[in-house]
Amino acid sequence: MLNKYARAFFTRVLTPFAAFLIRRGVSPDAVTLIGTAGVVAGALVFFPRGEFFWGTIVITLFVFSDLVDGNMARQLGRSSRWGAFLDSTLDRVADGAIFGGFALWYAGNGDNNALCAVSIFCLASGQVVSYTKARGESIGLPVAVNGLVERAERLVISLVAAGLAGLHTFGVPGIQILLPIALWIVAVGSLVTLVQRVVTVRRESAEAEAEAEQNASQGREAAK
């Protein structure tokens, strides 16, 4: 839901920065790799220690690489299957690190097994939601559905909540409750999105098979 509008806005904002990197000889793949490394480091260094504010700041600085590398590729006219594959694959790595960081906190000093399980569910469901679309498209289906909670929503909800929850260490009382609420929202929203995509693939698959059968029947009739 956010992807359509957020990407358009940040693409305009980040275009000058992408052009600057191109002039400095930086490649889109390098930006993808550095951005992912920064997100993973921010998530797995800060979150397991409960340092949500600073972890979110670090992650936010690097997460926009997902838009910068694509912008650079378009400016260079180098959009490729490899670039798209690398970008999509490393997105999954970054997402896993973020929710893995939450899970490590709740499994350790956060001392909350229920929220640890919710964090793991967010991690797993996010991967499966992405897989359903990729797998549906690989068998020739459009998977034409805007899910309730896609990657952009998962990141915005969880990171905004984590950053605000981190203000607890600066003396803001009670605000740490925002992160558990956000994780539950992401978990439920991801489940709804998964169901939406599965239902869509089932419907599109049935329609494609019916169309193929109709074409085959018409072909047999024409051959008579």
User: Is 91 in the active site?
Assistant: yes
Q: How far apart are CA 210 and CA 194, in angstroms?
A: 24
Q: How far apart are CA 186 and CA 192, in angstroms?
A: 10
* List 87, 91, 95, 111, catalytic entry: 91
Q: How far apart are CA 65 and CA 31, in angstroms?
A: 6
Q: How far apart are CA 179 and CA 13, in angstroms?
A: 29
Q: Which residues contact 97 (CB under 8 A, 6 or more apart)?
A: 39, 40, 43, 44
Q: Are 83 and 69 in contact (CB under 8 A)?
A: yes
Residues noted as catalytic: 91
